[in-house]
Amino acid sequence: MTADLFDAESAAPLALEPGAWVLRGFALPRAEALRGALQAVTADAPLRHLVTPGGKPMSVATTNCGALGWVSDRAGYRYTACDPLGGRAWPAMPPSFLALAADAAARAGFGGFAPDACLINRYVPGARLTLHQDRDERRMDQPIVSVSLGLPAVFLWGGPKRSDRARRVPLVHGDVVVWGGPARLHHHGVLPLAEGEHPFMGACRINLTFRCAG
């Protein structure tokens, strides 16, 4: 492991506002372990395009690991203990995932973070995520930890109201965003992914989002 990787993990967090931080390059030293764990999870619970309650397919493909998984269909948004595709429990959250999430949260000032859900999103060029709040979780006292792997993206960071002006935050491979406390219910999203090829993930971006859902 090279010195620049250690430096990336120990770099000072970038404050978006109270309770919200960008940790530049924080996941880089663990990227290979994350990729191996990700491959095992998606082999057990394949990525799929969910539909919104209105019946529209999402441009982002998703799956989950952990005790709970986030799903969307015509019945609404919710967490389930089993994968609707096969009725089995979601894959267990890999130790490398848990360790990164806890360490990133602690780096941003949220000690003791122990997520029970990891939503995995795959973005291909053109895929996007509209402004929204993460409000389906029971533990609003716990932060959200969001890890970027692969192609760069533009993260939209808004405010408590959907009409609040959103800040554009460029994210690259290895960056981690953490938000909680007074920023826990701020709106956020992702602009349409630009065309590209990344040596780590190919022509896509993977986002790991850790939450305390139950």
* pLDDT above 70 (res 8): no
Mean pLDDT of 24-38: 98
Note the pLDDT of residue 6: 35
**Average pLDDT of the segment spanning 198-211:** 97
C-alpha distance from residue 29 to each of 128, 195, 197 (Å) = 27, 26, 21
Reported as a pLDDT band with limits 50, 70 and 90, residue 1 is very low
pLDDT (mean) for 186-210? 98
5: confidence class by pLDDT, cuts 50, 70, 90: very low
Tokens of 13: 């967090």
* 3-211: CATH superfamily: Alpha-ketoglutarate-dependent dioxygenase AlkB-like (2.60.120.590)
Say if residue 3's pLDDT is above 80.
Answer: no
Q: Measured between alpha carbons, how far is residue 64 from residues 2, 53, 133, 211 in Å?
A: 31, 19, 18, 11
Phi, psi of 120 (to 5 degrees): -105, 120
Structure tokens at 200: 């780590």
Element (DSSP H or E) covering residue 118: strand 117-123
Q: Are 172 and 6 in contact (CB under 8 A)?
A: no
pLDDT digits (tens, 9 = 90+) for 37-79: 999 999 999 999 999 999 999 999 999 999 999 999 999 999 9
Burial of residue 118, with CB atoms counted within 10 A of its CB: 0-12 exposed, 13-18 middle, 19 or more buried: buried
Which pLDDT tens digit goes with each residue over 123-143?
999 999 999 999 999 999 999
- Mean of the per-residue pLDDT values for the chain? 94
**Average of per-residue pLDDT across 80-95:** 97
pLDDT at residue 64 in the model? 98
Domain ranges in the chain?
A: 3-211
Residue 12 pLDDT: 79
